[in-house]
Amino acid sequence: MRVLLTEDNEGLANSIVHYFTENGHAIDWVSSAEKADSILAHDEFDMLILDVNLPGKSGFELLSSLRIRKNPLPVLILTARADIDDRVSALDLGADDYLVKPFDLRELAARCRALVRRERGKSDNEIQCGNLSFNSATKTVKIGDEIIELRPREVQMLELFLTHLDRMLTKDDIANRLYNFGEAYTPNAVEQILTRLRKQIQGSTLIIKTVRGMGYLAHVHD
Amino acid sequence: MRRLIISLLSFCITSHLFANDTVLRIYSATDIGAIRPMLHEFETLYPNTTIVYREFNTIELFQELLTPTLPAPDVVISSASDLQVKLVNDGFAQPVYDVPEVTSNQPWAQWTNELFGFTYEPVVFVYNKEAFINKPIPHTHEALAEQLREQADFYHNRIGTYDAASSGLGYLVASQDEVAFSLTGRLQESLGRARADIHCCTSLLLTRLTTGDLVFGYNLLGSYAMAKAAYNEHIGVIIPEDYTLAIIRSAFVHRNAKSPPLAAAFITYLRSPAGQKTIANKTALMPLDRRLGSHNDTNNQLQKSTNFHPIRLGPELLLYLDQHKKMHFLNNWSLAMDP
Amino acid sequence: MFTIKEHLKKLTSSRMYSLRQKMLTRTALLMCTVLAILSVGVWHYANTSADYSYDRLLSSASVTMLDGINVAKNKVHIDLPYSAFEILQLAPEDKVYYAIYGPNGDFLSGYSDLPLSPSVTEQASTQPRYELHFYKQQKVRFIVRHKRLSERSVAGNVSIILGQTTIARDEQMRDTLYAALTTLMAVMAIALLVMWVAINRALSPLSWLSSQLVSQSPMENGRLPATKILEVAPLTHAINNYRQQWLDALVAMRDFIADASHQIRTAQATTKAQLEIALSSKNERVDKKVVEAIYQDHTKLTRLTNQLLVHATIVHRGDHQAFTPIDMHHFLQDIITYAVRDYAHTNIEFEYVPASENITILGDEIVLKEALRNVIDNAVAHGTSDRSTTHGVIRISLETYDLDCRVCIEDNGQGIPENQRMHALERFVKVGTNTQGSGLGLAIAQSAALSHQGRLILSKSELGGLAVCFSLPRLTETLHASSNH
């Protein structure tokens, strides 16, 4: 994962760079939006961590110019502004996620991974979620290096969750994906498949939560 | 209409006769002899002025203005106030502003700001002094009427008065007499019965009174009578005590005046203290300002508290100029005078 | 062009202006208008009355003159009476013109060139007619009057046209006009003066107020002296009220700052002490346990700071609320989704009990989100703290309650005893076994509920723990419709 960090506070930036490097991620650091702009022009990054409060051009300005150029680069906004509206406007301007300072570095890294994962899942066949990997072409599932045998419906369900990480899926959403138009299914069927799937992927970093009254949410905890 | 020019006198008072002199043309029904001192004085006040003075009798003057044969005058002067009023009423005059009042309480001596009176001429009785030795002289109209009745023989053919029919002034006096005095009709009848001698002019009547042809003159112009009586011991002047008509000699600026400012100045002069003093002291005329008196008024009769009845300058004078009214009046008058 | 625009802008811009001057100018303008209207009326009246007076002169003079017209010797006999002219003498300056016409319209006497003539058809019985003409370069008012002669020899109407110039009439008209106008203007002037005095009187409380306010500091708890003026009393009352609110807010803020300082500094002191101990340790290697403890305390400090700021922001946002309609179902789904994501690694189970109908409220999404998130965080933190054996359950439910909607967040923790619940809503108050929290979560929720005209209800949950319920007024259909337009 190659990350570009745009942050004017050197102390914080150094810590982030240190943490990301420790965890084996490539991270570049610039201190202003202008510099970020010029680096982004000729280098490829998996994502951008962008501070709002920057000297000169603000983070919001950089973000909106990126989105105007139809650059799909995932962007995570860091904000320390008192006004909570910042977070809303960040999402409105096309940021993919935000974090309010101060934050846990672990949290930051997890959010970054989630964003990159989501972006990669759209293009790559191989989806990596912590220690669980899934090949959408061969439909093979691995936890670490160990291949897990799954039934087709379980694979379908897993694939659905992996492509909708951190999003709430209702039972109907899942059933519609698992069953064809004509196929009859009992409401319990989804529960049963899920229970089996959970058992199979025990030990992986993928957690599937049930929210009664709403549905299901998959989250990678790494 | 008979146009008889009694005296046409082109009179120039000149000491400075320059081509560029201003000419003041005065058409007047006033004896040149009576007005000369004023012309002289005005001429000294306005040295570059040439005064052209033309004398008419009242009716001639009126006719001349209605149908002009001569150049239009600047100032028109006449004692026939009815004709003057008529001329002003018919628009022959132009307004003059800031003309001084001679005295206050004489509103009758001015009509609008066009016609201005400047002399005050009582209408008087004149008698032959010799004829009235040891005889009571009538001092009122009523007394005269009584005497005429009671002593018809004494007055028969020996009393004279103005001819109302031929003299403008005579008509004015006779008609105003009728307005002012309720017994005028009776008096006229008495005059008629006494075969009153009727004349056109005061001067003629005065001459006949002096000679004794007449013993009593009724309704004569006071100014001439007093002037004559002042040096003629044969006649005396009576200012009637019951009422005395007073005729206002008036002047106006003609609407076609060549030099209206000069004309206005002349009228202003006539009514100014200087003009009034000149009238009082140097002329036969009598000033409007009655405080000045007249040098001819030897008996100071003008200063007495007689009931003077000035003939107001005003539109009511038009009444007796109405052709029907006049015809009517003269018919009656002639009938009375010639019974 | 530009300058005109600028000028217009100047005119329309909110320049400062004098109320006194404006009122006076407007009153003066109004009065001028009234004066103009009245003047026209007065002019009309003066004309009418002058006409009336002098027409009567003409009328009586003409009647008198007609008296002098009779039939004698089979002819029209004219002997105009002197009295007719005496009547006209009442206008002494005016010139007089007349003409008399016989029964066949033949001219008998007077002026034959008058600008009008009697019409043959006119009846003697009809009213006299008045006309104004120019004659001999002057204004002349004429009357035409008829008299019926009915002798055998002469029968028909004789007419008299009598005219008089209008000098006296115009003068009377002018006199009346000037007198009336002078009076009018005097009245107007007095009215303006009274107006001026009245305006000054009316504005005097303003200067009194400002002098009172200038002499007092806004921080002082002084009240404006009572006024006897009924109209001013509400203003002083309002100012006093406003000032009181401001002072209250100031006191509240002062308290808050004091509390916040205390809390933050205490936490900072803790961390600092721990760091000092760690630094002064003779041991060369840092004990990871110590760092862990410092990290934990710092996390608490962070949370405290965050919550203080959120609280301050919510309280502050109440001042400039930007309320929008919020679909509560979707709103809660979003919040729950985020909560589930953030607590996915724990064994807490979330539960959502939706309402049977769509519920919309008018609210500030950000404030509500913060408040709900704080309550959920609380529930996560305390609701499950010592139930390691069972799963923590957090139930979020939405239901209608009369005109309000209720959003309840329940947990299966220990809850708060009933006698301490009201206390729990206060700032920095930690209840029961709570040692981790900042003591601000419920205070934030309370502020948010209040700023939405709602309230926060604490009760015991069916699940066994605490139930925190936001009771918020619903947006009814009509209200919703009107707010959309």
Mean pLDDT of B158-184: 86
Q: Are B95 and B115 in contact (CB under 8 A)?
A: no
Q: Are C91 and C139 in contact (CB under 8 A)?
A: no
Say if residue B96's pLDDT is above 80.
yes
Distances (CA, A) of A183 to A150, A157, A180: 21, 16, 5
Whole-number pLDDT of residue A125: 76
Looking at the structure, do residues A113 and A155 belong to the same domain, yes or no?
A: no
Cα–Cα nearest to B52, from B85, B80, B82, B11: B11
Beta strands C466-473 and C404-411, pairing class: antiparallel
- Chain C residue whose CA is closest to B113: C93
Mutation target to probe the A interface, by most A beta carbons within 10 A, among C264, C295, C334, C340 is C340
- Which residues in chain B are contacts of C110 at CB distance < 8 A? 322
Looking at the structure, do residues A74 and A133 belong to the same domain, yes or no?
A: no
For residue A23, what are the domain limits? 2-123
Q: Return the CATH number at A116.
A: 3.40.50.2300
Torsion of CA C68, C71, C72, C78, to 10 degrees: 30
Tell me if chain C has a CB within 8 Å of the CB of B314. yes
Looking at the structure, do residues A119 and A130 belong to the same domain, yes or no?
A: no
Looking at the structure, do residues A118 and A211 belong to the same domain, yes or no?
A: no
- Residue bearing the bigger pLDDT, A99 or C352: C352
pLDDT above 70 covers a percentage of chain A that reads 95
Looking at the structure, do residues B325 and B210 belong to the same domain, yes or no?
A: yes
Say if residue B4's pLDDT is above 50.
no
**Is position B59 within any domain?**
yes
Say if residue C289's pLDDT is above 70.
yes
Mutation target to probe the B interface, by most B beta carbons within 10 A, among C71, C75, C96, C134 is C96
Whole-number pLDDT of residue C435: 57
Strand-by-strand arrangement of the C404-411 sheet: C349-353, C393-401, C404-411, C466-473, C455-460
Distances (CA, A) of A193 to A151, A175, A198, B7: 9, 11, 9, 158
Looking at the structure, do residues B179 and B264 belong to the same domain, yes or no?
A: no
* Counted domains in chain A: 2
Angle between helices B32-45 and B260-271 (to 10 degrees): 110
Looking at the structure, do residues B21 and B31 belong to the same domain, yes or no?
A: yes
Mutation target to probe the C interface, by most C beta carbons within 10 A, among B324, B331, B333 is B324
Distances (CA, A) of A38 to A42, A78, B28, B45, C96: 7, 20, 120, 112, 110
Q: Are C116 and C131 in contact (CB under 8 A)?
A: yes
Tokens of C236: 């002083």
Looking at the structure, do residues A97 and A133 belong to the same domain, yes or no?
A: no
Q: Interior CA angle at C207 toward C204 and C210, to 5°?
A: 150
When CB atoms are compared, the residue of B91, B315, B325 closest to C79 is B325
Looking at the structure, do residues A108 and A11 belong to the same domain, yes or no?
A: yes
Looking at the structure, do residues A105 and A58 belong to the same domain, yes or no?
A: yes
- Per the prediction, chain A carries an average pLDDT of 85
Residue C364 CB coordination number (10 Å): 22
Whole-number pLDDT of residue B16: 39
Looking at the structure, do residues B17 and B137 belong to the same domain, yes or no?
A: no
Looking at the structure, do residues B221 and B179 belong to the same domain, yes or no?
A: yes
Judge: domain C321-484, CATH 3.50.50.60. Answer: no
- Where are any strands of DSSP class E within A21-86? 26-30, 47-51, 75-79
Q: Are A115 and A122 in contact (CB under 8 A)?
A: no
Q: Are A49 and A76 in contact (CB under 8 A)?
A: yes
Q: Return the CATH number at A163.
A: 1.10.10.10
How many helical (H) and strand (E) elements, i.e. helices and strands, does chain A have? 8, 12
Looking at the structure, do residues B195 and B175 belong to the same domain, yes or no?
A: yes
- Chain A residue whose CA is closest to C316: A83
Between CA B260 and CA B256 the distance in angstroms is: 8
- Which residues in chain B are contacts of C137 at CB distance < 8 A? 91
Mutation target to probe the A interface, by most A beta carbons within 10 A, among C319, C345, C348, C393 is C345
For residue B23, what are the domain limits? 11-120+248-300
pLDDT digits (tens, 9 = 90+) for B288-314: 888 887 777 767 777 776 788 899 999
Say if residue B183's pLDDT is above 70.
yes
Q: Return the CATH number at B196.
A: 3.40.190.10
Work out the minimum CA distance from A169 to partner chain C, whole angstroms: 10
- Chain C residue whose CA is closest to B324: C78
Last residue of a domain, one of A123, A144, A176: A123
DSSP C21-67: HHHHHHHHHHHHHHHHHHHHHHHHHHHHHHHHHHHHHHHHHHHHHHH
Tell me if chain A has a CB within 8 Å of the CB of C318. no
**Is position B173 within any domain?**
yes
Looking at the structure, do residues A115 and A7 belong to the same domain, yes or no?
A: yes
Say if residue B67's pLDDT is above 90.
yes
- Chain B residue whose CA is closest to C99: B322
Q: Return the amino acid letter for B282.
A: K
pLDDT band at C477 (very low <50, low <70, confident <90, very high): low
Whole-number pLDDT of residue C276: 84
Say if residue C258's pLDDT is above 60.
yes
- Which residues in chain C are contacts of B89 at CB distance < 8 A? 95-97
* Counted domains in chain B: 2
Q: Which residues contact B313 (CB under 8 A, 6 or more apart)?
A: B81, B84, B85, B108, B109, B110, B111, B115, B117, B248, B250
Distances (CA, A) of C60 to B230, C57, C65: 49, 5, 8
Q: Are C426 and C311 in contact (CB under 8 A)?
A: no
Whole-number pLDDT of residue B190: 86
- Which residues in chain A are contacts of C366 at CB distance < 8 A? 84-85, 87-88
pLDDT digits (tens, 9 = 90+) for A140-159: 888 888 888 888 888 889 98
Looking at the structure, do residues B228 and B329 belong to the same domain, yes or no?
A: yes
Residue A102: cis peptide before it, omega within 30 degrees of 0: yes
Q: Which residues contact B151 (CB under 8 A, 6 or more apart)?
A: none
Work out the minimum CA distance from C356 to partner chain A, whole angstroms: 12
For chain A, report the end-to-end CA distance as a whole number of angstroms: 15
**Is position B218 within any domain?**
yes
When CB atoms are compared, the residue of C336, C341, C366 closest to A214 is C336
Q: Would you kindly state where each structural domain of chain C is located, as residue ranges?
A: 17-204, 233-314, 321-484
Tell me if chain A has a CB within 8 Å of the CB of C253. no
**Is position B174 within any domain?**
yes
- Which residues in chain B are contacts of C87 at CB distance < 8 A? none
Q: Are C161 and C116 in contact (CB under 8 A)?
A: yes
ipTM score of complex: 0.84
DSSP code for A33: H
Tokens of C120: 């043959």
- Per the prediction, chain C carries an average pLDDT of 83
Whole-number pLDDT of residue C46: 92
**Is position B2 within any domain?**
no
- Which residues in chain C are contacts of A167 at CB distance < 8 A? 337
Burial C66-103 (b: 16+ CB within 10 A, else e): bebbbbeeeebebebbebbbebbbebbebbbbbbbbbb
Between CA C94 and CA C101 the distance in angstroms is: 23
Judge: domain C233-314, CATH 1.10.3470. Answer: no
Tell me if chain C has a CB within 8 Å of the CB of B88. yes
Ranges of H-type helices in A93-219: 105-123, 152-163, 171-178, 187-200
Work out the minimum CA distance from C58 to partner chain B, whole angstroms: 14
| Backbone phi, psi, residue A70, to 5° | 60, 30
Say if residue C246's pLDDT is above 50.
yes
Work out the minimum CA distance from B57 to partner chain C, whole angstroms: 24
Between CA C373 and CA C365 the distance in angstroms is: 12
Residue B179: which H helix or E strand, with range? helix B168-180
Looking at the structure, do residues B332 and B193 belong to the same domain, yes or no?
A: yes
Considering just the CA atoms, what is the radius of gyration of chain B in Å? 20
When CB atoms are compared, the residue of C77, C85, C94 closest to B319 is C85
Whole-number pLDDT of residue C290: 81
- Chain C residue whose CA is closest to A212: C351
Whole-number pLDDT of residue B19: 40
Tell me if chain C has a CB within 8 Å of the CB of B328. yes
Looking at the structure, do residues A140 and A212 belong to the same domain, yes or no?
A: yes
Which of B231-235, B253-257, C250-254, C291-295 has the highest mean predicted lDDT (pLDDT)?
B253-257
Looking at the structure, do residues B126 and B111 belong to the same domain, yes or no?
A: no
Residue B122: which H helix or E strand, with range? strand B115-128
Between CA A58 and CA A50 the distance in angstroms is: 10
Burial of C212 (0-12, 13-18, 19+ CB in 10 A): middle
Cβ contacts below 8 Å, chain B against chain C, sum to: 52
Looking at the structure, do residues A44 and A94 belong to the same domain, yes or no?
A: yes
Between CA C197 and CA C192 the distance in angstroms is: 9
**Is position B1 within any domain?**
no
Looking at the structure, do residues A112 and A7 belong to the same domain, yes or no?
A: yes
Per DSSP, the three-state class of C69 is: strand
Cβ of A211 within 8 Å of Cβ of C350? The answer is yes
- Per the prediction, chain B carries an average pLDDT of 85
Residue C354: which H helix or E strand, with range? none
Tell me if chain C has a CB within 8 Å of the CB of B324. yes
- Chain A residue whose CA is closest to C370: A84
Whole-number pLDDT of residue B13: 42
Contact map slice: B 177-206 vs C, CB within 8 A: 179
Tokens of C64: 């008198």
Q: Which residues contact A40 (CB under 8 A, 6 or more apart)?
A: A4, A48, A66, A71, A73
pTM of the predicted model as reported, rounded to 2 decimal places: 0.59
pLDDT band at C91 (very low <50, low <70, confident <90, very high): confident
Q: Are C28 and C192 in contact (CB under 8 A)?
A: yes
Say if residue C478's pLDDT is above 90.
no
Looking at the structure, do residues A161 and A211 belong to the same domain, yes or no?
A: yes
- Chain A residue whose CA is closest to C322: A85
Cβ of B328 within 8 Å of Cβ of C93? The answer is no
* Chains near C (3 or more Cβ pairs under 8 Å): A, B
For chain B, report the end-to-end CA distance as a whole number of angstroms: 26
Last residue of a domain, one of A70, A97, A123: A123
